[in-house]
Amino acid sequence: MNQRAAIKCDILISIQPEYANQIMEGCKTVELRRRFVEAVDRDTRLFIYSSNPVGAIIGCARIDKVIKLPVKQIWKRFHKQACIEKGEFEKYFDGVEFGFVVSLGDVTPLTEFLVREDILGRWGIRPPQSYMYLPAKIAASIFDGIDEVSARHKYHPGHRR
C-alpha cells in the first residue's frame, strides 16, 4: 500500500480578496484548487494571504481535510460551500480533470493583519501566487506574535491599500 505521509507544517495560501473575506466571515467553508498537497496533518493551519489590492495575511483556518476529485464532482458537491458561480468555476478549472477541495475549520481572523512589506521584511517571505509551506518558527510567529508587528493595520473586509 503506497500511502503518502502527511505534511506536518503550516501553509501560506494566496486567495483573491472576495473569497478571502468570505472565509473570514464564515460563508465560504471550502477552498478549491487546481493543485494542492493531498495529505496534510490534522493540525495544519492555512494562513490566508488576501491578494491584490489588499496584499496582507488576514487570518488563518485549520484544514479539516483535503479531497481530490474529478472537477464535475467538485461542482456538484461543493459549489455552494465554495461560494462560486458556475462560470467562474468552469473558467478556473478549464483544462484539468481533477481538482482539490480544502475543507476549512476553526477560522481565526487577525485583528491586525500583516501587509506584504512586513512579511518580506520580517521573514524574507514573498507571498506565493498559489501556496507555500511555512517553517514552524515563522508560522508560530505569525500566529502568536501579531502584537509585535511594526505596521499596525486593522483589517476591514473590502480594505483597499
* Residue-level pLDDT, tens digit, the chain, 161 residues: 345 566 678 999 999 999 999 999 999 999 999 999 988 887 799 999 999 999 999 999 999 999 999 999 999 999 999 999 999 999 999 999 999 999 999 998 888 889 999 999 999 999 999 999 998 888 888 876 443 333 333 334 444 33
Whether 154 is covered by a domain: the verdict is no
Instruction: Read off the CATH number of the domain in which 61 is found.
Output: 2.30.130.30
Q: Encode pLDDT of 96-143 as tens digits.
A: 999 999 999 999 888 888 999 999 999 999 999 999 999 888 888 887
Whether 158 is covered by a domain: the verdict is no
Asked if 75 contacts 86 with a C-beta cutoff of 8 angstroms, the reply is: yes
Spatial CA neighbour of 63 closest among 42, 77, 82, 47:
42
Whether 2 is covered by a domain: the verdict is no
CA torsion through residues 42, 109, 57, 14, sign: positive
Whether 97 is covered by a domain: the verdict is yes
Calpha distance 83→51 (Å, rounded)? 18
Main-chain phi, psi angles of 135, to 5 degrees: -60, 145
Residue 55's domain comprises 10-148
